[in-house]
Every structure is written in structure tokens, then in C-alpha cells.
Chains A and B, each alone.
Chain A
Amino acid sequence: MTIPPVPYAIAPESTDTVSAEEQQFNDLIAADSRIEPRDWMPEGYRKTLIRQISQHAHSEIIGMQPEGNWITRAPSLKRKAILLAKVQDEAGHGLYLYSAAQTLGISRDLMTEQLIAGKARYSSIFNYPSPTWADMGSIGWLVDGAAICNQVPLCRASYGPYGRAMVRICKEESFHQRQGFEILLELMNGTPAQREMAQESVNRWYWPALQMFGPPDDDSPNSAQSMAWNIKRFSNDELRQRFVGMLVPQAEVLGVTLPDPDLRWNEEKGVYDMGEIDWTEFHEVLAGRGPANARRLQRRRDAHNEGQWVREAAAAYAAKQAVKAVA
């Protein structure tokens, strides 16, 4: 699964004097063209992208855990194979995104250090636990579904390596979403216990999935610069609305109830009205007090620390081979 983080604020660059290279950057943005690694770019643009892309990469890596949790217990060999392939895709997305971030001048080692030191953000959605098999369905359908709504516009992000990475990632995410939907459909067509498992899981994931789009627009002043730079294309609320509009008919096909009593079609506005999102919970999880924050970070830290001797061995071996090759 893949969740781009909410872009953060960068003070607009001073416009007193515009150098030739800055003018060229501005012209490229105005023409909605791509900025490439060799191009000059404002420091704020570079920092915004490093932060957004690395957070996105971290989300992929931490996001492997809630589903990785069920690989050994998947209830059929077919499901086991699909789940394994999906989690493996996520590792691939992480690698791909780290590479895109590296083109902006940050090393993968540094990004990893930031993650395991707890200094870097990743999507809060992965700080929720996955106690049942139905969560494999909900994560695909709701979490990957929300991710796709966020990511499709990112394929047009102004920074070339990021936009191109997103094209490939979106193709795989769309498959992930359908497999999640299919898991839930199978459960909803199954035994009473399976149906109950599916509904209970959707109840738990629905609201956190809506929170993935970030705070409401009137509480998200930071998005403006990212939109001006053509990194972000739609507001948080626009994307959230689009997502809910997509979910409602799919929920009908599944036969699950979306846990929002205030959800209803607004004829006048042509969109769904929805209930109030609990932003207190959102901020609690963001602040590290979600149900699985500590566990997720600890697992990553353990894997990193326990793998230290392996990475050292690989580096030492490569160095020895290089010496041999010269001699």
C-alpha cells in the first residue's frame, strides 16, 4: 500500500530578485512541465520533495508489517501467494521511492536512520493493528483505495522521478485494491462468521482510511505551496470526497455497511454528506500514541539492528573483491 503524506509548509521563496535559473524553474512550473534532477530548483522545493518522497517510502516499508503479519497464517495457498506477492510489491515501491529521493541528494542510509530514530514520519494508518484475516481485505480495499485517490494525481507531480515512480506504483496499487475487494467479497459471500469478520474489520478501518487524506482544507494551510509547485493537485477534502463517492457503490456490491450514520447523498451538491471525523484520534496517532506505533517502529529497528552484521559483511566482502580486481 502506498500513502503520500500530507505536504508541509515551506515559506515561499523571496521574489525580490529572480535569477535566470530561478526564472527557468518558474517557467517550467508555469508550463506544467517536469523538473528533472539536473535542473536548478529552490531549496524549499527540494526539501519538500525529499520529505514527501521519503515519508512515502517509509510508509511502504512500515506498511509491509500489518499484512506481513498474516503471510504465515493465510487461510489458503492461493491467498498466501497473493499476499506474499503484495507485500513484496510494497518493498519494491519503497526501494523505488528511496531511489527517487536519492536523486534529490539524500542517501538511503540517512533516510533509514531518520526512520528508525523515530524522526521521520510515515502514514499513520499503519499504526493500526491487523488482528483478523478480514483486515487483509480492508487494507486493500480501503487503505490502498485511499492511497490510489491520493496517488493518481501525483503521477503528474512536477518532479520527474517522483511522477514516473508513481505511474508504476499506481498500476500495482490498483491491483492491490481489487484483491482487497475480492477478499471481502469472498468473506461476505461466506459463512456468518466470515461476514461478521468482514463487517467488523470495515468498521475499524473506515474512519482511519478517511483520515489518510489529511486535515480538512480549512485546517490545512500548508498545502498551498505544494499546489503552487504542482506537487499536489487537489485539496484534502476534494480527494476525500472523491474517495467516499467511489466507496459507496462498492460497499453496496459487497453488502457491507459503511459505519457512518450521517452518510447520505446530497442531491443539491451532487456529493455525499458525511459525519464528523474524529481529528483528536488522528492527532493522537500522529503524535505516536496510536495502537501500534511503538510496535511498528520497534520491528523496523530490530530488523535494522539485527541485520547490521550482514550489511557489514556484504560491504567488507565487496571491498575485498574490489581490491582483488585491481590487483
Chain B
Amino acid sequence: MSDTIEQDAYGHVDVDQVELSAELVEAASVASHDVAEYALWLGDDSLVLAQNLGWWISRAPELEEDIALGNIALDLIGHARSLLHYAGAESDRTEDDLAYWRDEPQWRSAHLFEQPNGDFAHTIARQFIAAHYLFELYSALMESTDATLAAIAAKAVKEVDYHRDHSIQWVLRLAQGTEESRRRMITGLSDLWPFVEELFIDEPLIDRLEGVAVRPSTLEATVLAAMLPVLAEAELEVPRGFISSGGGRRGDHSENLGPLLAEMQVLARAHPDAKW
């Protein structure tokens, strides 16, 4: 990294130069209103999940997990920045305008991502579902006719592949470790499973983005086909019962999102004219 960064006479490196230039897609094109809305769906999912994961740093069960969860959160922030940057161009808003100055009903994330961290098993269950979903989503989105979305997906898919592997390893360990860990893994999975279905709901927006967006209902089979063998190996049953009504894509959220946004936005909103 440092080889390519220019230093001034004082050896000072401006953080803008190490800003995630590699992670930000050069978005020459401006998304249409509908594409921007779709980018918001995906960007909000990643940012809300990253915000939740960021809590774990300095609290994880092992140092290696502080690093791993931090790394996953960092990847997700990178994806969110690219997507929000793209989503905002249409309305002349920056990634930070979108992240810090929208209220709860304007957020488009699905309910899965805003579910609380819970214990480590809950976080792993959420990661297991999220990473499988994101992997199949980005794999399909690489074929998008929208070049920017396709490029973001091509980069993100490699990273969420690692997130997927990380979650699989932990599902196996926890399910087949000790009695306590198995009990907790079962609880975590059954608490998070109700939020799977919302990920595959086709909203009217999708009808207007044929070839650009990935139709959520088409992902259900592949996501489940990837997850179920892992659950079988872990000797975990697919939870049944309550299914969340969802609504995140339309701005209907659970009670979890408000406090999460309040914390994330508090400093930025206290200084509306400030740059950071």
C-alpha cells in the first residue's frame, strides 16, 4: 500500500490517499432512481450488519475472533460505501449523507441484519444466513447489466466467500462442541431463522429492474441448497415456526434499528456543518 501513496515533504500521508480507493468502484455512471433504490437495499444491509459487528471488537471470545469479526465488518463497510456512493449520486448525496442523515423509515435493510448480536451463537447464526445470502446474491449480481453493480459484486463476492467459510466453521464447532454450545447454537439458529424468508421476497421495484437487479425469489433455492448440508453435517434441524413479516425494503423495521441508528448517527448529527 505505502509504495503507491504519495507523501508530502513532511512525510505526511493524507488518509484520503489510503481511503478505500481500491474498494470504491469508479462510478462514472449515475444510477437511475430505481437502480439507486436497489443499491440502497444492498448498501443498507451491509452497513447495518457492519454496525452490529463493530460492537464485538475488544469483546470477542478469542483475540483471533476480534480480528476475524473486525475484518468482516471492515469488508462490509467497504461494500456499503461503494453501494451508498453509487446510490447517492442520483440525488446528489454522499455516502455519509445517506448513512448519517436518513431516519429509520428511509432505511431499506432487511430485518435479519438489524437483529441484535445476542451471544456469540446468535452472531454466528446471523452471519451464517447473511453470508450465504450475500454470496449467492453477489454471485448472481456479477452478471448484472449495470456495470457498476456488477463490478461491486465481483469484488464483494470474494470477501463474503470468506465470511461464509468463517460462519460454517463456527456453526460446526458450536453445534458439535459441548452440550452448552450446542444448546446455544440451536437457540441462535431458531431465533434468527424467522428472518430468512424476507430475503427472498420480490418487491415491485424488482419488476422494473429486469437484468439489473437479482430477483430475490430466485436466490432461495441456491441459498438453502448451500446452507442445508452444513446444518445436516452439524446435525441441526431447520427451525420451524414463526416467520417475520419483514417489510424492511419498504422502511418497516423492527425495534432494533432505531437504537442502532441513534448510536451510529449521534456525533455526525450533533455537528451538522462539520467535516471529519
Q: A interface vs B, CB < 8 Å?
A: 61, 64-65, 68, 71-82, 84-85, 87-88, 91-92, 94-95, 98, 133, 175, 178-179, 181-183, 186, 190-191, 193-194, 253, 299, 302-303, 306-317, 320
Top 9 nearest A-B pairs by Cβ distance? A307-B61, A313-B177, A313-B181, A310-B61, A88-B70, A68-B58, A64-B58, A317-B173, A317-B177
Given known pairs A84-B70, A312-B181, A313-B173, the reply for A73 and B274 (CB within 8 Å) is no
Task: Evaluate contact between A310 and B71: CB separation under 8 angstroms.
Answer: no
- Considering only CB atoms, which chain B residue lies closest to A65 in the complex? B58
Task: Evaluate contact between B178 and A81: CB separation under 8 angstroms.
Answer: no
Contacts A/B (CB < 8 Å), 23 sampled: A61-B63, A71-B54, A71-B55, A71-B57, A72-B54, A72-B55, A72-B264, A73-B263, A77-B80, A78-B15, A78-B81, A81-B78, A88-B71, A88-B74, A133-B276, A190-B276, A299-B59, A302-B59, A307-B60, A307-B65, A309-B181, A313-B174, A313-B178
- Considering only CB atoms, which chain B residue lies closest to A186 in the complex? B276
**Other-chain residue from A71, A76, A84 in contact with B276 (beta carbon distance below 8 A):** A76
In the complex, A94→B54 CA distance in Å?
A: 19
In the complex, A307→B119 CA distance in Å?
A: 9
Interface residues of B in 87-124 (CB under 8 A from A): 95-96, 99-100, 119-120
Task: Evaluate contact between B274 and A75: CB separation under 8 angstroms.
Answer: yes
- Considering only CB atoms, which chain A residue lies closest to B264 in the complex? A72
In the complex, A64→B60 CA distance in Å?
A: 12
Q: B interface vs A, CB < 8 Å?
A: 2, 10, 12-15, 18-20, 47, 51, 54-55, 57-67, 70-71, 73-74, 77-78, 80-81, 84, 95-96, 99-100, 119-120, 172-174, 176-178, 180-181, 184, 263-264, 266-268, 271, 273-276
In the complex, A312→B182 CA distance in Å?
A: 12
Q: Is the interface of B mostly helix, strand, loop or mixed?
A: helix
In the complex, A68→B178 CA distance in Å?
A: 31
Task: Evaluate contact between A303 and B59: CB separation under 8 angstroms.
Answer: yes
CB neighbours (8 Å) of A193 from chain B are 271, 274
CB neighbours (8 Å) of B59 from chain A are 299, 302-303, 306
In angstroms, how far is the closest chain A Cβ from the Cβ of B137? 21
CB neighbours (8 Å) of A191 from chain B are 271, 273-274
CB neighbours (8 Å) of A133 from chain B are 267, 276
Task: Evaluate contact between B67 and A175: CB separation under 8 angstroms.
Answer: no
In the complex, A183→B55 CA distance in Å?
A: 22
In the complex, A313→B12 CA distance in Å?
A: 46
Q: Is the interface of A mostly helix, strand, loop or mixed?
A: helix
In the complex, A178→B80 CA distance in Å?
A: 25
Task: Evaluate contact between B51 and A178: CB separation under 8 angstroms.
Answer: no
Task: Evaluate contact between B58 and A303: CB separation under 8 angstroms.
Answer: yes
Given known pairs A79-B276, A81-B77, A191-B273, the reply for A64 and B66 (CB within 8 Å) is yes
Task: Evaluate contact between A77 and B81: CB separation under 8 angstroms.
Answer: yes
Task: Evaluate contact between A81 and B274: CB separation under 8 angstroms.
Answer: no
- Considering only CB atoms, which chain B residue lies closest to A318 in the complex? B173
Task: Evaluate contact between A314 and B60: CB separation under 8 angstroms.
Answer: no
In angstroms, how far is the closest chain B Cβ from the Cβ of A135? 12
**Other-chain residue from B64, B74, B100, B120 in contact with A84 (beta carbon distance below 8 A):** B74
Task: Evaluate contact between A317 and B176: CB separation under 8 angstroms.
Answer: yes
**Other-chain residue from A68, A88, A299, A312 in contact with B67 (beta carbon distance below 8 A):** A88
Given known pairs A80-B77, A91-B63, A95-B63, the reply for A75 and B271 (CB within 8 Å) is yes
In the complex, A322→B66 CA distance in Å?
A: 26
In the complex, A84→B72 CA distance in Å?
A: 10
- Considering only CB atoms, which chain B residue lies closest to A197 in the complex? B271
- Considering only CB atoms, which chain A residue lies closest to B98 in the complex? A77
In the complex, A77→B79 CA distance in Å?
A: 11
- Considering only CB atoms, which chain B residue lies closest to A313 in the complex? B177
- Considering only CB atoms, which chain A residue lies closest to B85 in the complex? A77
Task: Evaluate contact between A94 and B63: CB separation under 8 angstroms.
Answer: yes
In angstroms, how far is the closest chain B Cβ from the Cβ of A161? 18
Task: Evaluate contact between B81 and A316: CB separation under 8 angstroms.
Answer: no
Q: A178-B12, A313-B178 are in contact. List 10 more A-B contacts (CB 8 A).
A: A76-B268, A77-B95, A78-B20, A88-B57, A175-B13, A186-B276, A190-B275, A303-B60, A307-B60, A310-B181
CB neighbours (8 Å) of B267 from chain A are 73-75, 133
In angstroms, how far is the closest chain A Cβ from the Cβ of B234? 10
Task: Evaluate contact between B172 and A92: CB separation under 8 angstroms.
Answer: no
CB neighbours (8 Å) of B180 from chain A are 309, 312-313
- Considering only CB atoms, which chain B residue lies closest to A320 in the complex? B176
Task: Evaluate contact between B276 and A75: CB separation under 8 angstroms.
Answer: yes
**Other-chain residue from B54, B58, B65, B184 in contact with A309 (beta carbon distance below 8 A):** B184
**Other-chain residue from A64, A65, A81 in contact with B20 (beta carbon distance below 8 A):** A81
Task: Evaluate contact between A194 and B271: CB separation under 8 angstroms.
Answer: yes
In the complex, A273→B19 CA distance in Å?
A: 39
Task: Evaluate contact between B177 and A299: CB separation under 8 angstroms.
Answer: no
**Other-chain residue from B47, B96, B181 in contact with A76 (beta carbon distance below 8 A):** B96
Task: Evaluate contact between B173 and A311: CB separation under 8 angstroms.
Answer: no
CB neighbours (8 Å) of B55 from chain A are 71-72
Given known pairs A75-B267, A91-B66, A317-B177, the reply for A64 and B57 (CB within 8 Å) is yes
CB neighbours (8 Å) of B15 from chain A are 78, 82, 179, 182
CB neighbours (8 Å) of B10 from chain A are 253
Task: Evaluate contact between A77 and B184: CB separation under 8 angstroms.
Answer: no
Task: Evaluate contact between B57 and A68: CB separation under 8 angstroms.
Answer: yes
In angstroms, how far is the closest chain A Cβ from the Cβ of B19? 6
